[in-house]
């Protein structure tokens, strides 16, 4: 039974990682599309910038946000959306790193525990010393992260289309005031 749950857990981890990487690759392709739309040819020039293995998730996110901001009409809605998008994607990148690096010790840490509930821990240095950071505990926790990656990937696509087509961003996405970290929520029209 534990082996079955471990396979399900690893499948959920893989699903999240693939969806996260799809969101990152969407940003990479979007940067190239915006460069091409602005007259940069051949596309290999842009891929030379964004295709490097040193351009990991966070540098790609920074380049994507900067490219959208530079190429687009920079209005109030776009400013809020980019701030929100960068914050949410950055948070998801941190969770992805926690999952990837936390699972290195999955079997060791769960030998006497229920594998359905525990992924492991990751050391987290801070000003107060070395703490441990918990990983997502259930398959559903990982599936929530997968859905977040899907949502952010759809938002990235709408940012790209809005920029390339030179349409106002509110044609594709809508901001509304709410409480919380960034103070805004983004609605994707399906």
pLDDT in tens, 73-88: 666 678 888 998 999 9
Give the residue from 140, 135, 142 showing the smallest Cα distance to 113: 135
32: Cβ contacts below 8 Å, ≥ 6 apart: 43, 46, 47, 50
pLDDT in tens, 106-129: 444 445 555 445 456 677 777 888
Stretch among 15-29, 64-78, 143-157 having the lowest mean pLDDT: 64-78
Task: Quickly state the pLDDT bin for 23 (edges 50, 70, 90).
Answer: very high
Report how many domains make up the chain.
1
90 lies in which domain range? 2-188
E-state strands within the chain: 121-126, 129-134, 173-177, 184-188
């Amino acid at each position: 039974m534990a082996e079955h749950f471990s396979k399900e857990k690893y499948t959920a981890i893989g699903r999240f990682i693939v969806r996260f990487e799809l969101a990152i690759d969407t940003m990479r392709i979007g940067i190239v599309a915006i460069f091409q739309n602005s007259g940069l040819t051949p596309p290999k020039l842009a891929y030379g910038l964004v295709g490097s293995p040193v351009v990991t998730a966070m540098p790609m996110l920074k380049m994507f946000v900067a490219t959208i901001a530079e190429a687009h009409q920079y209005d109030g809605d776009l400013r809020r959306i980019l701030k929100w998008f960068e914050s949410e994607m950055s948070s998801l990148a941190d969770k992805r790193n926690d999952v990837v690096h936390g699972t290195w010790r999955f079997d060791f840490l769960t030998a006497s525990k229920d594998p359905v509930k525990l992924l492991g821990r990751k050391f987290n240095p801070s000003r107060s010393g070395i703490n441990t950071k918990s990983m997502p505990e259930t398959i559903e926790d990982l599936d929530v992260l997968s859905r977040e990656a899907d949502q952010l990937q759809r938002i990235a696509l709408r940012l790209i289309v809005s920029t390339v087509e030179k349409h106002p961003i509110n044609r594709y996405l809508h901001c509304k005031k709410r409480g919380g970290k960034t103070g805004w929520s983004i609605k994707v029209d399906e």
